[in-house]
A and B are shown apart, each in its own frame.
Chain A
Amino acid sequence: MDKDKRSTGYSLSVNDTSHEISKSWLGESLLYVLREKLGLYGSKNACEQGECGSCSVLMDGVLVCSCLVLAANATGRDIKTIESISDDDSLTDVQKAFVDAGAIQCGFCTPGLLITIHDFLETNPEPNVLEIREAISGNLCRCTGYGRIVEAVQIVSKQKSVGQGGSDDSS
C-alpha cells in the first residue's frame, strides 16, 4: 500500500449532512467521493474532464463539475447534489417540466442538467432561447437533441412569469 497517497481524512458537508471521509487517495475527485463513498449516485460520470456536465453540483451555491473538484478541497464548503433539490416524492417545477415536456430519454444527463437549470433560473428567470442554450452548453445530451430540454426551461419560465402576474406571452 502506497501510504503517502492515503489521506488522514477530512469532513464534507453534503446536502446539509456532515460526513467524515477517511482512507482516501489524494487525487480523488468530489464526484468519486460522492458516488462511491457517500452512496450518492445521482451525480454521473460521463467524461471526468469537465466536458459533459453530468457531474454538476452546487458548491457554495456555485455550479461546478464535481469531477474537477479535488474532494479534499471541498471541505468546509456547502455541497448540494441532485438528491437534495426536492424532498421525498415531490418534484420541483423544473423536474416536473422535464417530465411533462418529454425531456428525458436515457436520463444519464438529467441530474446534471437539472442542477444547471435550477442554478440558471435563479439569476435569469425569463431567459430567451439563446440564453438557455448557452446556459446548458456545458451539459451534453446524446439522446434528446436538447429540444425538449429547452422547452422544459421555457415552460418553467412562463409559469414563473405568469405566477408573478406577468403577461402570458410566449417567449
Chain B
Amino acid sequence: MEFHIASSTEEICSLLAEDPTREILAGGTDFMVEVNFRQKDPSAVIAIDRVPELKQWRHDGDAVSIGSCVTYREIERGPLSTIVPALAQSARTVGSPQIRNIATIGGNLGTASPAGDMIPVLLALDARVTIRSINGSRDVAIDDLITGVKETSLADNEFIEVIKVPILKGPQEFLKVGPRNAMVISIASLAMVTDPEQTTIAIALGSVTAAPSRAREAEEYIQGFLDWDAMTVSSSALPDFRRLVGEASSPINDHRSSAAYRTHAVGVLGQRALLRIFESRDDG
C-alpha cells in the first residue's frame, strides 16, 4: 500500500504528477464511508489534511480565501461565521459535531454531491475555486468545477487548493429542508445572498438539480420589484417569484423525497428567504 502524508502543496502536486491514480484524502467523511461500504478500495492515498496552507483562511481584498482543508467547524464557529454567515449556517446543518470537526470545505466541493450543503451558498456568492497541479493554478467558478452528480472537472493530477469567497455587504440566508432535525441529507435547500450597495441578489438551489444551479430567472424577475433603499419587495410579485424558483429546479424522485415536493419546497424556501431580507409592501 502507499500512504503519503503531504506537508506542502508542492508535495501534493508532485505526488499527483508522479501517479495521478493516487487518491486525495482530506477530512475523510465521504472517503471513508465509501471505503467502509466497499465502494472504494484504495491502493494509494495522499493525506492532505496536515498541509498548513490548506488549513488556513485569510482576508483577500473584498473576499476571504479559505484553504480547502478548513473544517466546517471553523466556518460554523470561528470569525468566518460572521464574515460569511450563510456559509456558517449551511455548515451547521451538516452531519454531526463529529463530522463537522473534520469535514472540509474542499471535500464538500470535491465530492460534488447534489445535496452538498455549502455548494449553493458558494455558488450564490460567486466563489472562485483555485485548482492546483504541477502545471500551475487555474481559477474556476463553482458551476464550472461541479459538472454533474458527483462529477467535477478536476483532472486526475489536480486538487482543490483555495476557495475565494466574496464578502457581500448585505443580508444572506441559507435554508435547508430535511425530514429530521439533525444529521440529515438535504431534500431541498436554498441560498440567497444580497448586496444592497451593488443591488445584486443571487439565489442558488440545493438538492434539486444535478449540477449547482442559480435561479437566474427568479433573480431577474424579482429585481423589478425590489426597493433597495427601503429593502422592501412588492407582495404582488411573490407568487410568480415562488413559481420561478421552483421552475429553476429539476428534481428527481428518490427514496428520500419526491420531485413534486422538492419543487414545491424550494419555492417556499425562496419566498421565505426573500421575506427575511426584504419587507413585504403592498403596491396598490
Contact = CB atoms under 8 A, between A and B. Distances in A.
Contacts of B182: 134, 137-138
A27 B25 CA distance: 12
Given A51-B183, A62-B101, A116-B97, A29 B32 contact: yes
Interface string B157-185: 00000000000000000000000011100
Contacts of B36: 27, 29, 48-49, 67
Contacts of A67: 32, 36
A133 to B, nearest CB: 8
Contacts of A63: 97-98, 101
Contacts of B198: none
Nearest to B73: A62
A24 B43 CA distance: 12
Given A29-B35, A138-B98, A73 B183 contact: no
Contacts of A70: 3, 25, 28, 31-32, 35, 45, 47
A62 B55 CA distance: 15
B49 A73 contact: yes
Given A49-B36, A62-B101, A138-B182, A68 B29 contact: yes
Question: How many B residues touch the partner, as a band?
Answer: 20 to 34
A139 B37 CA distance: 20
Question: How many A residues touch the partner, as a band?
Answer: 35 or more
Interface stretch (A1-9, A89-97, A103-111): A1-9
Interface string A14-34: 000000000011110100000
Contacts of B25: 70, 73
B95 interface: yes
Interface in A90-130: 116, 120
Interface string B14-36: 00000000000101110111011
Given A68-B29, A73-B28, 17 more contacts: A5-B41, A24-B1, A26-B2, A26-B43, A27-B36, A50-B32, A50-B98, A56-B98, A62-B102, A63-B97, A64-B102, A65-B29, A68-B98, A68-B102, A73-B49, A138-B99, A138-B182
Interface of B: 1-3, 5, 25, 27-29, 31-33, 35-37, 40-43, 45, 47, 49, 95-99, 101-102, 181-183
